[in-house]
């Protein structure tokens, strides 16, 4: 099953919802206008479809393999990564002074979606390198930037994030890896890190680990964590590679999915200490890591959208090919392709509505990030940054949770064939399952959304988004037709549900934290449901005015928006009930631990 | 991870909701009272926990393997099946005249739940044999019954269902396998059957295939299908085994889950023809197969409940052991086990509420089946049979769909560890995924629910259930307390949603079948949601009166009922919107085939 990038929808979202031309008007983004975006997207679509996508099944059947501390990746990955590097794809969004293309995040978001649709396992390697680049750009010294960034962007070295330890998963306060200063500015690191994506592989000449560890006098908890750079091979001042560092891959995991992506257990310092250098200041490691993580969390949200899109394409292809049963309305006497059956159509529409809705929201978020970086006015920058930060946990949590459901529906569309591994639908179901877990589980995203993103500013950013949404709701009234009426009704109700939930969370956060956190994931889900619905409302308003330009595309957008309103957005009041009915003493926490 | 049968909840449901003592009062079921049930359940719990459950992981890691037409099952399966047979477990529900125990279906339902929780793959073999027994009891000749039933019940032979062919999945009208009469009363069969569960294995001395095929002059479509009995080894009149029949397993599938259960491709007649005998009359095969399928569909629904329960137990065990992060309410300064975190508690409560609710509904359905067989009054028998038949597609569709969600939540509770195969949580996620597919996909169940079970009697049975539900709703008003108020509010609203949906379906079935079938799966989901909610309402009313007898159990039941009301039942109005907003021209079918 091949992958054909949904270029038309991607460009529609970039132009009509995420205002690519507005971003191209910002200083520094002059090269990022719609025409440029279109050229990049077309080329990425070709590369991902032709080179990367065919390796997706290969990777599932021939996972990366560990032997004697070395990892051999799936056949074809090395060559594909070389082509990826040569095409300049690692540098799309990164600064031109280090060899990147300096394009808006909005454009790189599209590239990332396509790369991930083509191959989640493959795309993880550049995804992690992107995170390392972000962290060094923010907190690295000039010397560190000069030493590492060009190599990352050139695609000859790759980066990793080393947070998790066996006892420290979501709770980084429990990190134990030690970093001992050597007096010469360097440190030696000792400890075990697990779940390190591409922690060892054979696609790059060096692997550069960014590692959370504690210095000897550091305070306990998260305030005593520093960030270190620990390359697999030491790097001379001229950039050439020196001795093998004391960090070793002792095993990789046997996983449910994304099997081509090696998930390493890394041992630091078993042979005298792994040489590392501090990034930024001591004890500020978590802060820096959050920069990396915010980029990575957004990127994982894109992975959700990407695998949903791929699963959707595969389901459509099967539904258009598989002949089974006569139509329920008696319109044909012979069996028809199953796409003619209403329930199959409902499943496909559900997959499509989730994928398109989540895409629109994520691209709009990326656009806020670009405005936060490039807008000439400081207040505007801050305001866009706040919106972007509000949206990141939603893009991550909502897009990844829905991707599991969408991949599951994809299996269902295939019937019995979906359960046979050869078909390929099951791979998406297995692959998607990690997405709501890594880079912070959905609960961790929801905690972030509640605490840092909603309560800290008393819901101001959230309410500002609701105020913008109100304008769209008003605009819906102006348009005739069942689809617009339906969207108006459901979006009005859903936005009120979201507004009341935000009020509840802000009001109860201090007095009844258990109640608020019991509803935190439902709140994230509600916010995602409503905000994606809003994007559909905006999209259908645009499509209404452009129906004559491309009837097939725009009428499909309006129909999908209506479907979203009636089948997905319609659940908003029920999700609200789950949030606001919560009560620290009753409800979710009514069962005591020993009653489970 | 071991399995401990939820004996207390099973017995509570049998006694308080499914009226086991009422069933024991029926002629023929005198041995099936509560005390007897308790003894059987206790013994089944022990057997399943000790003997069968430990083989679940074994089977996943060492799937059944095919070689030269023979299948070797997972190490340990043969011996376990022998113990299963010796314990008389195949015969619990079957007539004593053929060696069974003749106990109510309500009791065998409990046994089946536990066997499936212990090991879905293992339990499939007896599940299929049960189906073959049912079909022969209904349509077999006395000679066929005498020849096969004692061997099935003794557990020395097993049965299979052969429906599917490559081109004939959900659509049995497309079956092509031929049966040519030989003039001596026997037939020779030619064709290929796929997806045959335990179509070949090494646990029994003979495998008896029940096969759908067409005789030479049969009409086309489903009205020309007959049912044949085709044993792997021919059977002499004295019951001893003769020559190898011409049915051969040419391969087994490489599947996403239930890997220990061999899924065979069977080739009939490649070497002269497979000898078969007609069951019942020619061209009535589908009718007989439906008997088998109704039993099997109910049993697959039980598989959903079973795997949900197992996933739930595994998630609880991890949540009680894994230490991570301090409590959000500041009640401790050190990290705590994650079961203390509100969102983990929410996930566990969701898993529990689905499992308990679906269990209650399924056992109540089994009880209706017993009343349909054993009630002295013919009208009462018919009425209970009609209710049972209404409930079967709901038990199958709802319990299996929820099992996928519950198993997915189970992975999520484990965080990153859930994605590592060694943990075992992922197996449930993989195993569960077949359940909404085989024995009729959820869409097929929903078609059955809409067409045969709702529209055919103009919604009478469904409305009778709603009338009974009204009595429970009234009773809820009488009890004080937040939980009862909450259930009253949500169940009242949800029952109205269901009532209106039934009205819509009955009214529109002829005029707008596309609209009705576009909402058929939502209707099934709504019916399941509401009917399980009703059982929770009944359960909490009982628990309220028995709080002093067992405070821990009954207060947990009331709390779980409240959770179900607020987090699951609360979605009923939104599901109703998905059903009644449907319109054959707009809505689900608004996108044309080529717009996908």
Give the pLDDT confidence of B303-339 residue by residue, as tens digits. 999 999 999 999 999 999 999 999 999 999 999 999 9
| Weakest mean pLDDT among A263-267, B27-31, B463-467, B471-475 | B27-31
CB contact under 8 A, A563 and B404: no
Q: What pLDDT shows up at residue A177?
A: 98
- Residue stretches of chain A with pLDDT short of 70: 1, 582-587
Sign of the CA dihedral with B158 first, then B161, B165, and B169 last: negative
Interface of B with A in 401-460 (CB under 8 A): 404, 408, 411-412, 415-416, 418-422, 426, 429-430, 433-434, 436-438, 441-443, 446-447
Chain B: closest CA distance from residue A371 (Å): 34
Q: Which of A432, A206, A475, A154 is nearest to B411 (CA)?
A: A432
Computed over its alpha carbons, how large is the radius of gyration of chain B?
24
Cα–Cα distance, A245 to A248 (Å, whole number)? 8
Contact A55, A74 (CB under 8 A): yes
Interface of A with B in 35-54 (CB under 8 A): none
Total Cβ atoms within 10 A of residue B215: 18
In chain A, residues with a C-beta closer than 8 Å to the C-beta of B342 are 514-515, 517-518, 520, 588-589
Q: Which domains does chain B have, with CATH numbers?
A: 7-154 (1.10.540.10), 157-287 (2.40.110.20), 294-580 (1.20.140.10)
Chain B: closest CA distance from residue A340 (Å): 7
Cα–Cα distance, A13 to A259 (Å, whole number)? 32
In chain A, residues with a C-beta closer than 8 Å to the C-beta of B340 are 593
| Rounded average pLDDT over B524-542 | 98
Q: What residues of A are annotated to the active site?
A: 439
Max Cα distance, chain B (Å): 84
In chain B, residues with a C-beta closer than 8 Å to the C-beta of A329 are 513-514, 584
- Best probe of the A interface among B261, B328, B573, by most A CBs < 10 A, is B328
Chain A: closest CA distance from residue B348 (Å): 8
| Rounded average pLDDT over B348-374 | 98
Instruction: Confirm whether B113 is a catalytic residue.
Output: no
Residue A84: which residues within 8 A CB-CB, separation 6 or more?
A47, A51, A52, A90, A126, A155
Task: Among B346, B514, B588, select the one facing A349 at the smallest CB separation.
Answer: B588
Give the pLDDT confidence of B552-578 residue by residue, as tens digits. 999 999 999 999 999 999 999 999 999
Proportion of chain B in helix, strand, coil states, percent, rounded to 5: 60, 10, 25
Instruction: Decide if A197 touches B, using CB distance below 8 A.
Output: no
Q: What pLDDT shows up at residue B180?
A: 98
CB contact under 8 A, A443 and B343: yes
In chain A, residues with a C-beta closer than 8 Å to the C-beta of B586 are 482-483, 559, 562
Q: What pLDDT shows up at residue A583?
A: 65
In chain B, residues with a C-beta closer than 8 Å to the C-beta of A586 are 482-483, 559, 562
Rounded to two decimals, the ipTM of the complex is: 0.97
Q: What pLDDT shows up at residue B449?
A: 98
Half-sphere exposure (CA, 13 Å, Cβ side) for B238?
Answer: 2
**Pair of tokens at residue A503:** 């009020």
B424 conformational bin, left if phi > 0, alpha if psi -120 to 50, beta if neither: left
Q: Which of A133, A126, A36, A140 is nearest to A89 (CA)?
A: A126
In chain B, residues with a C-beta closer than 8 Å to the C-beta of A563 are 587-588, 590-591
Give the pLDDT confidence of B37-83 residue by residue, as tens digits. 999 999 999 999 999 999 999 999 999 999 999 999 999 999 999 99
CB contact under 8 A, B416 and A164: yes
Q: What pLDDT shows up at residue B589?
A: 78
| Rounded average pLDDT over B209-214 | 98
The chain-wide mean pLDDT, for chain B, equals 96
Cα–Cα distance, B148 to B239 (Å, whole number)? 8
Q: What pLDDT shows up at residue B469?
A: 98
Task: Among B349, B421, B446, select the one facing A256 at the smallest CB separation.
Answer: B421
For B427, nearest residue in chain A (alpha carbons): A256
Q: What pLDDT shows up at residue A584?
A: 56
Q: Which long-range contacts (CB under 8 A, 24 or more apart) does A222-226 make?
A: A222/A172, A222/A173, A222/A286, A223/A283, A223/A286, A224/A283, A225/A172, A225/A175, A225/A283, A225/A285, A225/A286, A225/A289, A226/A179, A226/A278, A226/A279, A226/A281, A226/A282, A226/A283, A226/A284, A226/A285
Q: Is it the case that residue B587 has pLDDT exceeding 90? A: no
Chain B: closest CA distance from residue A355 (Å): 13
CB contact under 8 A, A570 and B574: yes
Contact B20, B37 (CB under 8 A): yes
Task: Among A253, A329, A578, select the one facing B566 at the smallest CB separation.
Answer: A578
Give the pLDDT confidence of B277-307 residue by residue, as tens digits. 999 999 999 999 888 888 899 999 999 999 9
Q: Is it the case that residue B585 has pLDDT exceeding 80? A: no
| Rounded average pLDDT over B146-172 | 96
CB contact under 8 A, A255 and B421: yes
Chain B: closest CA distance from residue A207 (Å): 23
CB contact under 8 A, A328 and B446: no
Interface of A with B in 478-537 (CB under 8 A): 482-483, 486, 513-515, 517-518, 520-521
CB contact under 8 A, A588 and B482: no
* Alpha-carbon distances, residue A257 vs A6, A119, A197 (angstroms): 24, 12, 13
């Amino acid at each position: 099953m091949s992958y054909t990038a949904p270029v038309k929808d991607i460009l529609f979202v970039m132009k009509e919802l995420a205002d690519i031309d507005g971003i191209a008007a910002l200083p520094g983004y002059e090269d990022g206008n719609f025409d440029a975006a279109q050229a990049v997207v077309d080329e990425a679509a070709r590369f991902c479809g032709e080179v990367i996508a065919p390796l997706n099944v290969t990777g599932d059947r021939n996972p990366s393999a560990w032997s004697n501390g070395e990892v051999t990746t799936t056949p074809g990955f090395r060559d594909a990564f070389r082509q990826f590097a040569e095409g300049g794809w690692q540098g799309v969004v990164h600064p031109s002074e280090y060899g990147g293309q300096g394009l808006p995040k909005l454009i790189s978001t599209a590239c990332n979606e396509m790369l991930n649709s083509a191959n989640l396992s493959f795309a993880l390697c550049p995804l992690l390198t992107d995170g390392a680049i972000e962290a060094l750009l923010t907190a690295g010294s000039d010397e560190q930037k000069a030493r590492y960034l060009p190599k990352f962007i050139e695609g000859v070295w790759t980066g990793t994030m080393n947070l998790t330890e066996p006892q420290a998963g979501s709770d980084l306060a429990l990190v134990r890896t030690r970093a001992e200063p050597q007096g010469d500015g360097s440190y030696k690191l000792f400890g075990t890190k697990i779940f390190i994506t591409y922690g060892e592989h054979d696609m790059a000449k060096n692997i550069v680990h960014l590692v959370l560890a504690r210095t000897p006098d550091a305070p306990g908890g998260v305030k005593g964590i520093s960030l270190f750079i620990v390359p697999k091979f030491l790097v001379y001042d001229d950039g050439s590679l020196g001795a093998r560092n004391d960090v070793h891959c002792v095993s990789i995991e046997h996983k449910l999915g994304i099997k081509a992506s090696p998930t390493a257990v890394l041992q630091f310092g078993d042979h005298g200490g792994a040489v590392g250098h501090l990034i930024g200041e001591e004890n500020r490691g978590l802060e820096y890591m959050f920069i990396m993580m915010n980029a990575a969390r957004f990127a994982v949200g894109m992975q959700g959208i990407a695998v949903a899109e791929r699963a959707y394409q595969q389901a459509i292809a099967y539904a258009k090919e598989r002949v089974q049963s006569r139509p329920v309305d008696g319109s044909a006497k012979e069996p028809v392709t199953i796409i003619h059956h209403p329930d199959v159509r409902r499943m496909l529409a559900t997959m499509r509505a989730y994928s398109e809705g989540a895409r629109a929201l994520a691209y709009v978020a990326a656009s806020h990030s670009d405005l936060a970086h490039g807008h000439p006015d400081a207040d505007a920058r801050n305001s866009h940054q706040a919106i972007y930060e509000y949206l990141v946990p939603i893009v991550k949590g909502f897009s990844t949770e829905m991707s599991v459901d969408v991949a599951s529906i994809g299996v269902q569309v295939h019937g019995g064939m979906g359960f046979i591994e050869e078909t390929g639908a099951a791979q998406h179901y297995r692959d998607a399952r990690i997405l709501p877990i890594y880079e912070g589980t959905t609960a961790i995203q929801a905690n972030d959304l509640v605490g840092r993103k909603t309560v800290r500013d008393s819901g101001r950013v959230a309410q500002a988004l609701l105020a913008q949404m109100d304008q769209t709701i008003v605009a819906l009234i102006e348009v005739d037709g069942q689809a617009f009426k339906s969207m108006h009704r459901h979006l009005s109700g859903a936005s009120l549900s979201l507004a009341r939930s935000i009020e509840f969370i802000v009001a109860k956060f201090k007095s009844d934290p258990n109640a608020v956190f019991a509803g935190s994931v439902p709140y994230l889900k509600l916010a995602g449901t409503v905000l994606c619905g809003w994007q559909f409302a905006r999209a259908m308003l645009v499509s209404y005015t452009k129906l004559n330009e491309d009837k097939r595309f725009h009428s499909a957008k309006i129909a999908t928006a209506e479907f979203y309103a009636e089948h997905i957005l319609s659940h908003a009041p029920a999700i609200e009930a789950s949030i606001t009915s919560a009560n620290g003493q009753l409800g979710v926490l009514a069962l005591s631990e020993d009653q489970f």
